[in-house]
Chains A and B, each alone.
Chain A
Amino acid sequence: MSWWNNQAALELFPLLLEGFRITLLATLLGSLLALTLGLVFAFIDRTAPEYIRRPLGWVLQFIRFTPPIAQLFFAYYVIRPNLGIGVDALTVGIVVLGVHYATYNAEIYRAGIEGVPKGQWEAVTALSLPQGRAWFGVILPQAIRRVLPSLGNNVIILFKEVPVLSAIAVTEMVRVGKEYTSDHFAFYIEAFTIAGLIYLVASYPTSLLMRKLEVRLGN
């Protein structure tokens, strides 16, 4: 097998797994930020006065319709140097991905909130429940349950978007593979096949889990 080098593959595997740890970390923290911030955006959209909602809407549109890599470069080369304190590339990457996907999650939450039947709000009013209780006890639990599969889907999409962070030198898995091949001027097949398989092994079961969840919540 001249096109596949076992020696290189064995050497690559642990290196790639090490990079995969960074990928997972970025996915976890990025998604956490995207899920929380998305809810905050949706909540503001639903409750704040027009003069706050409208400019926020513009900002969210702008983020949604520009590529994450452009936002990444902007955050890394323009914003980061002006922060004064040392913020590492990984942190910048997590925040950029988190904010980018928060704008998508905001739309999903919004749809979920709008999908809660009007009668639930009327029951809340008829029982004089305070606003906080209405949102956190009645409306949001129902809204989030409805959109859990879509939110989960965005976690997977963000997971697959993590390699974009290699552009600002975050050594996530794909970057590790790229560095190895650049050092050797070879083993491209080994590096990216193994990286691809690791991705597949992680995301395919997750997507199956999501589908299962969708079916269960549908009942």
Chain B
Amino acid sequence: MATDTTAAQVETDTQALGPVVNFDKVVKRYGELTVLDELDFSVKPGERVTLIGPSGSGKTTILRLLMTLEKVTDGVIWVEGEPLSHMRDSGGELVPANEAYLRQMRKRIGMVFQQFNLFPNMNVLRNITEAPVHVLGLSKDEAAVRARELLELVGLSDKENAHPSKLSGGQQQRVAIARALAMRPDILLLDEVTSALDPELVADVQNVLRDIASSTDITMLIVTHEMHFARDVSQRVLMFDKGKIIEEGTPERLFSEPREERTQKFLRAVLEGR
């Protein structure tokens, strides 16, 4: 009897602490090209995971699948214990998710893009309040209060009336980060967010992200070539090659003593490229 209770307890605990993201044999193909090959991996709540690897290794595709910008070819993606790529039909079977289901699920996830993708026809404040007002149903005032807090966090309080075209790339990217956070997502996806920036603007954006990482418990999946940043922010690094994880570990271990030859080669190339 006592044992049963303990077993049940353990199961509840595992559920509560279960992965926030779970890829179950996920396959992504574009025609003949296999980008992800029966990929299994999971991310714990609040964990910061950096995905590295050569271009075409599938790391950006993982973020795009999570943001539902792409559909899986096979396998299932789970988010907080619920299917993302699929939904349950009336019989409880998993079937490919429809648009209405995706719209509900993707609210839990936010994404920051390499090219910022701010709305050029709206000022900074509108960029940030648009989704909270029209998706979460906040009043304009509530959304503006939330937006101003976030603008302060990213150091752009004086820019709320500016149009994106009047901002530097680094400022635009910080607005984009504020815009994603305004939806209070559980998971934040960062897709090479500093790759399009001039070198002197990279640090501002990274500092903002470091602040967010240390002051919140938001789960982060980060695709980057900035190894210093990956080391500062993430607890785990996954090295991808040809749609598979070929090595993983803490950033300290993986960057200083990579075990796989492919990882060694890649890290050398990245460091020399700097």
A interface residues with partner B (beta carbon < 8 Å): 117, 119-120, 122-123, 125-130, 133, 137-138, 141-142, 145
For window 120-156 of B, CB contacts with A under 8 Å fall at 120-122, 130-131, 134-135
What does DSSP make chain B's interface, helix, strand, loop or mixed? loop
What does DSSP make chain A's interface, helix, strand, loop or mixed? helix
Does the CB pair B69–A141 fall under 8 Å?
no
Does the CB pair B67–A126 fall under 8 Å?
yes
Does the CB pair A127–B121 fall under 8 Å?
no
25 A-B residue pairs with CB within 8 Å: A117-B115, A119-B113, A119-B115, A119-B117, A120-B119, A122-B67, A122-B111, A122-B117, A125-B67, A125-B69, A125-B106, A126-B110, A126-B180, A127-B130, A127-B135, A128-B103, A128-B106, A129-B130, A129-B131, A129-B135, A130-B103, A130-B134, A137-B122, A137-B130, A138-B121
Interface size on B, residues (CB 8 A): 24
* A138, B135: Cα distance in complex, Å: 14
12 extra interchain contacts, Cβ-Cβ under 8 A, other than A130-B134, A137-B122? A122-B117, A123-B113, A123-B117, A123-B118, A125-B67, A125-B69, A126-B111, A127-B180, A128-B107, A128-B131, A133-B134, A142-B121
Chain A residue contacts of B106, Cβ below 8 A: 125-126, 128
In the complex, what residue of chain B is closest to A133 when comparing beta carbons?
A: B134
B42 in the interface (beta carbon within 8 A): no
* A137, B129: Cα distance in complex, Å: 12
* A137, B121: Cα distance in complex, Å: 9
Chain B residue contacts of A130, Cβ below 8 A: 103, 134-135
* A129, B179: Cα distance in complex, Å: 12
B68 in the interface (beta carbon within 8 A): yes
For window 162-195 of B, CB contacts with A under 8 Å fall at 179-180, 183
Chain B residue contacts of A128, Cβ below 8 A: 103, 106-107, 131, 135, 183
In the complex, what residue of chain B is closest to A122 when comparing beta carbons?
A: B69
* Shortest Cβ-Cβ A-B pairs, 10 listed: A127-B131, A123-B117, A119-B117, A126-B111, A141-B121, A133-B134, A128-B135, A128-B107, A119-B115, A128-B106
Most buried by A among B109, B118, B122, B130: B130
Does the CB pair B103–A122 fall under 8 Å?
no
Chain B residue contacts of A122, Cβ below 8 A: 67, 69, 111, 113, 117
B203, chain A: closest CB distance, angstroms: 24
* A129, B113: Cα distance in complex, Å: 16
CB contact under 8 A between A133 and B120, given known A125-B69, A126-B106, A126-B111: no
In the complex, what residue of chain B is closest to A130 when comparing beta carbons?
A: B134
B158, chain A: closest CB distance, angstroms: 24
* A141, B126: Cα distance in complex, Å: 14
* A123, B180: Cα distance in complex, Å: 9
In the complex, what residue of chain B is closest to A123 when comparing beta carbons?
A: B117
